[in-house]
Amino acid sequence: NAGVMQNPRHLVRRRGQEARLRCSPMKGHSHVYWYRQLPEEGLKFMVYLQKENIIDESGMPKERFSAEFPKEGPSILRIQQVVRGDSAAYFCASSKGEVQPQHFGDGTRLSIL
Amino acid sequence: SQQGEEDPQALSIQEGENATMNCSYKTSINNLQWYRQNSGRGLVHLILIRSNEREKHSGRLRVTLDTSKKSSSLLITASRAADTASYFCSLGQAGTALIFGKGTTLSVSS
């Protein structure tokens, strides 16, 4: 049973470009969460989605960031016009239900040149 | 959502010793979860303890929860070098995502 799959593992972008991060949840999981982690910090919640719906996006910047979890296919976290401050590790997690243990992917490390 | 605060921030021990880390919080909870993060990897769920439970075991891990003091502890017995990682607690509340503190960084030397 495959775990949460994130790709790419590493992504390098120049300032102003777009970054697309993908997350395939565990089989049978319909809840997806995105977190961001800066060096020496804990994970910070960004957005919580269920299939085709955004449940809580209170941790996601209002501009340049968007997330989706379509009926078919992976969840996508999209960052437009990236800036140096977007450099971080982005983790995706999935769960079966709301108050269930979350299973994490190994993250995408985004570097902005 | 509220976050837990782990203590100490860093802990260094020798193989075979026990490691204890604590988590304090300020709000009411449905459950409390402990996670481990190895360097460069995602978080791994260790134990979930519900608010009506006081103690839970999983292998060499023992978690206690004191809701009157709003605190939890994670004990790792007979530690191994492979236990070297950061450990995070997170509060589970219905309808919200997990909130993490800065964690406890555990170093186990052989």
- pLDDT tens sequence across B29-59: 888 999 999 998 989 999 999 999 999 999 9
Question: Is residue B4 less than 8 Å (CB to CB) from chain A?
Answer: no
**A57 interaction partners in chain B (CB closer than 8 Å):** none
Closest residue in B to A43 (Cα–Cα):
B100
pLDDT digits (tens, 9 = 90+) for B64-75: 999 999 999 999
Residues of chain B with Cβ-Cβ distance to A43 below 8 Å are 43, 88, 98, 100
Q: What distance in Å separates residue B63's CA from the closest CA in chain A? A: 15
Query: Do residues B75 and B61 lie in contact, with contact meaning Cβ atoms separated by under 8 Å?
Result: yes
Residue A81 above 60 pLDDT? yes
pLDDT band at A39 (very low <50, low <70, confident <90, very high): confident
* Angstroms from B53 CA to nearest CA on chain A: 16
| Contact in structure between B55 and B62 (CB atoms under 8 Å) | yes
Average confidence (pLDDT) over A46-56: 92
Mean pLDDT of B79-86: 96
Amino acid symbol at B69: K
Q: What is the pLDDT of residue B96?
A: 62
What's the CA gap between A111 and B9, in Å, rounded?
A: 27
pLDDT at residue B1 greater than cutoff 60: no
B72 to chain A, any CB pair closer than 8 A? The answer is no
Dihedral (C-alpha) A101, A105, A110, B1: value to the nearest 10 degrees?
0
Instruction: Say whether B100 and A48 touch across the interface (CB within 8 A).
Output: no
Confidence of residue B101 (pLDDT cuts 50, 70, 90): confident
- How confident is the model over B97-103, as a mean pLDDT? 81
CB of B1 closer than 8 Å to CB of B91: yes
